[in-house]
Amino acid sequence: MAGQEFSVKFWGVRGSIPSPGPHTAVYGGNTPCIEITCADRCLIFDAGSGIRALGNQIVEAARLQHLELFFTHCHYDHIEGLPFFSPLHSEEFDLTMWSGHRPKPDTQQMVEQYMLKPYFPVGPACFRASVDYREFVPGKQIKLAGGIVVRTTALTHPDGAVGYRVEFDGRSICYVTDTEHIPGRLDQNILKFIKDSNIVIYDAAYDDDDFKKFAGYGHSTWQEGMRLCDAGNVKLYVAFHHRPSASDAHLKAIEGRLKSIRPASLLAREGLILTV
């Protein structure tokens, strides 16, 4: 008997800044946002510019009145789309927003400080949806209705970041973006966190050959993601958080190299849906 639906859709896969244009049309130029569907429930991770299209689809389909939104951290590329998320401007929706990357500001303060004059014309008081702001300490296990378990862990990133592991119906999807590794040493915390997962989405902003130039930026490489997934017995590895300067041709070449080494791998692209 088939299990309940458990899938991930990519709405934004680019890091740092939106990068629209003909050279990024295949993989996409929007910043991070993914949607994980667990039966009839919708979990959203990050609110980069990709969340705008997701919100429009949710409102147009008149579905999923309750939404869960998890932030990895509050750097602009992961929150910049939040004010343009259509469900927030409809009384028909209620949202729970979660963050755990820093003790202060808390989730509500993070949103208020982002949507602050003179940098943004209106504050979160413009939201018509019912919003519940919540925090957690990394390492905490969050249990949601429907048998969904969201595990969390701290990542190595300036100002902090959180990795997520969603477990549902005996399967798992990990979202581990914005983390920096130490060359030659697998991150044992991440390795334990992703072990035996069905899908791992991992920060692959750089290449091993140019990684030294970006030390301290808080990102990793597509090769390191591959090494972690091999060691962690991960079924499918998805390289994520592409650099804004990476053209479709460049990313296609990387995907070819990646698949030649580890066939059960691919690069994230906007619109891609993966069903576990």
Interatomic CA distance for residues 28 and 21, integer angstroms: 9
Residue 3: pLDDT band by 50, 70, 90 thresholds? confident
Residue identified by tokens 């090494």 is 227
Q: Are strands 236-240 and 199-203 parallel, antiparallel or unpaired?
A: parallel
pLDDT of the residue at 104: 79
The answer to whether the peptide bond before residue 118 is cis (omega within 30 degrees of 0) is yes
Interatomic CA distance for residues 205 and 216, integer angstroms: 13
Interatomic CA distance for residues 166 and 267, integer angstroms: 20
pLDDT tens profile 13-39: 999 999 999 999 999 999 999 999 999
pLDDT surpasses 50 at 223: yes
The domain made up of 6-268 is a member of CATH 3.30.420.40: no
- DSSP helix/strand/coil, 249: helix
Mean pLDDT to the nearest integer, 83-97: 96
Q: Quote the mean pLDDT of the chain.
A: 96
pLDDT of the residue at 2: 62
Residue 65: pLDDT band by 50, 70, 90 thresholds? confident
pLDDT of the residue at 105: 79
Strand partners, 43: 36, 68
The pTM (predicted TM-score) of the whole model is 0.97
Interatomic CA distance for residues 224 and 182, integer angstroms: 10
pLDDT tens profile 122-167: 999 999 999 999 999 999 999 999 999 999 999 999 999 999 999 9
Residue identified by tokens 């949806």 is 129
89: exposed, middle or buried (C-beta count within 10 Å: 0-12, 13-18, 19+)? middle
Residue 103: pLDDT band by 50, 70, 90 thresholds? confident
Q: Report, in this order, helix, strand and coil percent for the chain, each rounded to 5.
A: 25, 30, 45
